[in-house]
Amino acid sequence: MPIAHPLPLCVAWLLLLVVIVMSDMTNGGVQGPIEGYNSLDDLLTTTPTPGQAAMLLPTAPTAAYTHPKWMEPYFDPSTPRNVTALMGKSAYLSCRVRNLANKTVSWIRHRDIHILTVGSYTYTSDQRFQATHHQDTEDWTLQIKWAQKRDAGMYECQISTQPVRSYFVRLNVVVPTATILGGPDLHVDKGSTINLTCTVKFSPEPPAYIFWYHHEEVINYDSSRGGVSVITEKGDVTTSFLLIQNADLADSGKYSCAPSNADVASVRVHVLNDSQPHSKRAKIRS
């Protein structure tokens, strides 16, 4: 059996230098024994196995680091894609971006492909638009102050990746609406009480007033007819009740509810004479 000859001294010292450097690199700078060797004498007097020799040889440079896909910016899919705002109030469109890093977030209005904001900067002369972002959150919120009906439509939140990534949010702007319950026709018996209920919804604030009309004329609650009263309850939904006691045939006709901040709502009231045959009254109702 051939006897393994000790390595030449110059080669041994070269290997020792490589070992020290590799040990620093692989062990985080903490010195320690290389696998298979317990002492320096073992290293200098033992012929390394192919696997041990590979450990001692310099390795080729590794390929450039590639950013994993899951670390690239992406949108939080739980962000609402439909937002409803009241006309005259602020609308808030949210865009939540994870792992943004050095990329920027922009808001674009699709109606005219107009860039509204880039980062925290506003790129429109309409000062109602503003992007807000807090350092401790991942939300980029587009605020539209005093929302108008024309502001409704699609908005795009965009990340400046290559290619760009987009998240679409639709804004709905609702306007104050007045409705008279039970319309468009109401039938009441002569001598009973006419009870009309008008509701005003989607109003940024309660209407300053609500006028009631009969035959295009404002109802006078202090008229000689008497028995006419109005009760109005203001809130998120404002309700106005018109009560007309002891209904007569002259009370038939068109009634309208006209809030200060909403379109007019109307209903037609039919006062039925008790002397009318039942079949005729049913026909009127139909």
Domains along the chain?
Answer: 69-174 (2.60.40.10), 177-272 (2.60.40.10)
pLDDT value at residue 37: 41
Give the chain's mean pLDDT: 80
Mean pLDDT on 207-226: 88
- Token duo for residue 197: 């209920």
What is the Cα–Cα distance from 212 to 214, expressed in whole angstroms?
7
pLDDT value at residue 46: 53
Question: DSSP class of residue 251?
Answer: G
Q: What is the dihedral of CA 146, 152, 157, 163, to 10 degrees?
A: -150
What's the farthest any 2 CA atoms get from each other in the chain?
135
- The angle subtended at Cα 125 by Cα 122 and Cα 126, nearest 5°, is 90
Mean pLDDT on 122-148: 92
Mean pLDDT on 128-156: 93
Confidence of residue 30 (pLDDT cuts 50, 70, 90): very low
pLDDT value at residue 221: 79
- Token duo for residue 124: 């429109």
pLDDT value at residue 36: 45
Classify the C-alpha dihedral 143-147-151-153 as positive or negative.
positive
Q: What is the pLDDT of residues 227-260, one digit of tens each?
A: 899 999 999 899 999 999 999 999 999 999 999 9
